[in-house]
Amino acid sequence: MFSIGDFARLGLVSVRMLRHYDAIGLLRPARVDPVSGYRSYQAAQLARLNRIVALKDLGFTLDQVSRILDDKVSAEELHGMVRLRRAQLEAQISADLQRLQGVEARLRMIEEEGAMQPLEVIVKRVERVRVAELSGQAAGYEPADITPVIQPLFEQLWERAQATGLTPVGACLAYYLDAADGAVSVHAAMPIAGDGEGAGGLDVVDLPELKQAATLIHRGPMDGVGASFQALATWVEDNGFRALGLAREVYLDCPDEVADWVTELQMEIAPA
């Protein structure tokens, strides 16, 4: 038998927690001295304590833990719960990190308001281009929504192009279209020559000519592209134009170091 203090040290929990578990009937002492009221525990009870702590850390309420333990959850089943919860936590951490990056990018935009260097915006005509593409759908325009969609699309696009010997004839690009219920249709595209025969199951689309487009070079990772888009929109409005749709992103140079990426933003415009 172990005193409550010794059992707490062995189980890596607090005495207060053990008293609480006793009070709610989750982990009763093996013996309670009728005179002093001192609680004593057996080493075999550490197995139940380990399950209680593991399930609680997985996010289960103590009431749920009690019901699970009453159902005699096995070590194998517990491992399954742990693996599932770990996957959920990893997904949550990834989503939180993306959200944090978005907040930081938004803060940079706020800090740079009114202090940005003069932009070199070039107005030009963009030729019609035939592309092989893949598309998907994102919940919105936030980087946390777009990034998990656009990255796999480009990976699949390259894999299919290489498998079929399809060779791009220009820089890859992305464009976006509004979809139902506020969703976004995301398109990863590769310029190709000819009629697209042998495109390996890729969609072949002719992107229309932009008779007049305001273009701006964005340098650096795409999680900071929002500031460049907003700066381009401000230039368009300040110079007496209106936008005719969402801008295209043309990836002119994408080395391994994303800080060195060079992307051209192309926004079709017309006189306001």
Which of 57, 73, 89 is the last residue in one of the domains?
A: 73
pLDDT of residue 114: 59
Is residue 138, in this structure, part of any structural domain at all? Answer: yes
Per the listing, tokens 């309670």 go with 32
Neighbours of 131 (CB within 10 A): 25
Q: What percent of the chain has pLDDT over 90?
A: 46
What gap in Å lies between CA 238 and CA 92, rounded to an integer? 41
Residue 196 and residue 130 share a domain: yes
pTM confidence score: 0.63
Residue 232 and residue 139 share a domain: yes
Is residue 82, in this structure, part of any structural domain at all? Answer: no
Bigger pLDDT: 135 vs 107: 135
Residues ≥6 apart with Cβ < 8 Å to 185? 135, 136, 137, 176, 177, 178, 179
For 114, which DSSP code?
Answer: T
198: pLDDT strictly greater than 70: no
pLDDT of residue 241: 95
pLDDT of residue 213: 96
What gap in Å lies between CA 200 and CA 165, rounded to an integer? 9
Residues ≥6 apart with Cβ < 8 Å to 219? 260, 261, 262, 263
Residue 142 and residue 58 share a domain: no
Is residue 97, in this structure, part of any structural domain at all? Answer: no
225 close to 249: Cβ distance less than 8 angstroms: yes
What gap in Å lies between CA 24 and CA 192, rounded to an integer? 69
Residue 41 and residue 167 share a domain: no
Domain hosting 35: range is: 2-73
pLDDT of residue 86: 83
pLDDT of residue 39: 92
Q: What percent of the chain has pLDDT over 70?
A: 93
Residue-by-residue DSSP string for 36-92: T--EEE-GGGHHHHHHHHHHHHTT--HHHHHHHHHTT--HHHHHHHHHHHHHHHHHH
Residue 223 and residue 162 share a domain: yes
pLDDT tens digits, one per residue of 29-38? 999 989 898 9
- Looking at the 3D structure of the chain, how many domains does it have? 2
pLDDT tens digits, one per residue of 123-154? 999 999 999 999 999 988 887 788 889 999 99
Is residue 192, in this structure, part of any structural domain at all? Answer: yes
Write the CATH number for 170: 3.20.80.10
Angle between helices 46-57 and 62-70 (to 10 degrees): 130
115: pLDDT strictly greater than 60: no
Residue 149 and residue 68 share a domain: no
Residues ≥6 apart with Cβ < 8 Å to 124? 212, 213, 215
Residue 172 and residue 38 share a domain: no
pLDDT tens digits, one per residue of 159-186? 998 888 888 999 999 999 988 888 999 9
Q: Which of 9, 10, 13, 31 is nearest to 21 (CA)?
A: 13
